[in-house]
Amino acid sequence: MSENNIYILKGRFKATTTNTFGLFAVFVDKTQKNIDKISVAVSHFSSIYETNPELDWYKFDQIIQMANYKGEVSQSLTSDFQSLFRNSFGPEVIETFIDSVEGKNLKKVENIFVSLISKILADKEVTIQVEKQALNRQEMERIKSEAENAASKNEEKKSEEKKEETSTVIFNVEEGSVILNVEVVIGPIGGIPIYEVKPLDQIYVKIPGRTPKEMSFINLLNARNETGEILPVPATVKEVVKDKDTKQVNLLVEIVPGVYGKAMEQETVKLKKYDPLNDPRIKKTSTENPAQQPNIFSYGTGRTDKQTSPLIFLWIIGAVILILGLLFIFFASGG
């Protein structure tokens, strides 16, 4: 078996004064002596601290990723921690990490993290737990690949089940329109309970991108970032169908005129509300002139708010000159 060359430090912390809780996983490449990957999730909700870092590395890292994906974290703090960790782990710190994993004492590692956490939060009441794990890259890639394949098959099974369950729900839209299968974006913190959703509410949905048709609309809606990740898009709720027996809610949403999405979820979930200030597609082009950025709820109108004809100004100037001329003639004639 190949030598273990990937060292993983998994940890959780709580900062009492600032009521801040977090998880982190730092992947160290022993051979290259560099940081391979850093995963972080920071929140003001204590539930995130319930995850034990003694979990296997893949499950622990997936919990961190899902917390970020579901919006269960403070995005600004998580980003700050990610940057701080990345910039603070120089050669000496990496050597300490390697020595600590190979030895039995993680106290130095804990002190490093406590110092950084206290610094960024200005909170000295920090409790931390750090665990270690070592494996070789080939084994890590195998575990990751097997888990992703299993998740993909499970997702396909769920997708087929959803298709069967939603096949009895028929939504009527105007002729020539397109209806896509979409996924609602969950918003456990501050979201709208799905059983309270009503027509005209604006939420986020995600086009899965499983078919060429879906992929074409993802590209059309600019719903992909620089790394290829599919981004959620805003949508307006048009119709809500509740099933009292299965306790499931079917939604018809309008993404843009003529393009609809249908989704189904359990009535226990909360949906993420659309916020134009946090639209990931607008952030992607934030350096552009805001006046030139499209309003996603006004596609197809063919005009912007600032399209004012210059002829109006010419008419105004002409009218002023005419009035002044008439006044001059009037007074010159002694009238």
Alpha-carbon distance 71 to 52, whole Å?
A: 20
Which of 208 and 229 is assigned the larger pLDDT? 208
pLDDT reading at 289 higher than 50: no
Boundaries of domain holding 181: 169-285
pLDDT of residue 209: 83
pLDDT of residue 89: 94
pLDDT reading at 282 higher than 80: no
Task: Count other Cβ atoms within 10 Å, centred on residue 159.
Answer: 14
Which of 239 and 299 is assigned the larger pLDDT? 239
pLDDT of residue 34: 92
Same structural domain, 109 and 31: yes
Which of 59 and 318 is assigned the larger pLDDT? 59
pLDDT reading at 7 higher than 70: yes
Q: What are phi and psi of 31, to 5 degrees?
A: -65, -50
Q: How many helices and strands in the chain, by DSSP H and E?
A: 8, 12
Give Cα separations from 221 to 185, 259, 268, 274, 291 (angstroms): 17, 11, 29, 16, 18
Same structural domain, 187 and 128: no
Alpha-carbon distance 101 to 132, whole Å?
A: 6
Same structural domain, 174 and 131: no
Same structural domain, 175 and 128: no
Same structural domain, 278 and 213: yes
Same structural domain, 65 and 173: no
Q: What is the pLDDT of residues 10-68, one digit of tens each?
A: 999 999 999 999 999 999 999 999 999 999 999 999 999 999 999 999 999 999 988 88
H or E segment to which residue 12 belongs: strand 6-15
pLDDT of residue 22: 96
pLDDT of residue 39: 94
> What residues contact 126, with CB distance under 8 A and at least 6 apart?
13, 14, 15, 16, 114, 117, 118
Same structural domain, 42 and 101: yes
Residue 294 domain-assigned? no
Alpha-carbon distance 139 to 168, whole Å?
A: 45
Residue 201 domain-assigned? yes
In the chain, the number of structural domains is: 2
Which of 142 and 277 is assigned the larger pLDDT? 142
- Beta strands at 6-15 and 20-29: parallel, antiparallel or unpaired: antiparallel
149 touches 228 (CB < 8 A): no
Same structural domain, 182 and 85: no
Residue 214 domain-assigned? yes
pLDDT of residue 309: 45
Same structural domain, 205 and 254: yes
Alpha-carbon distance 191 to 207, whole Å?
A: 19
Dig out the tokens for 135 from the structure: 């494996």
Residue 251 domain-assigned? yes
Residue 240 domain-assigned? yes
Domain-ending residue, one of 109, 135, 161: 135
Residue 63 domain-assigned? yes
Q: Region 185-211: what's the mean pLDDT?
A: 88
Same structural domain, 277 and 186: yes
Stretch among 115-119, 147-151, 323-327 having the lowest mean pLDDT: 323-327
Residue 324 domain-assigned? no
Domain-ending residue, one of 135, 161, 186: 135
Domain-ending residue, one of 135, 159, 192: 135
In three-state secondary structure terms, 187 is coil
pLDDT of residue 314: 56
Same structural domain, 173 and 131: no
Same structural domain, 126 and 205: no
Rg (Cα) of the chain, in Å, rounded?
A: 28
Residue 268 domain-assigned? yes
pTM above 0.85, yes or no: no
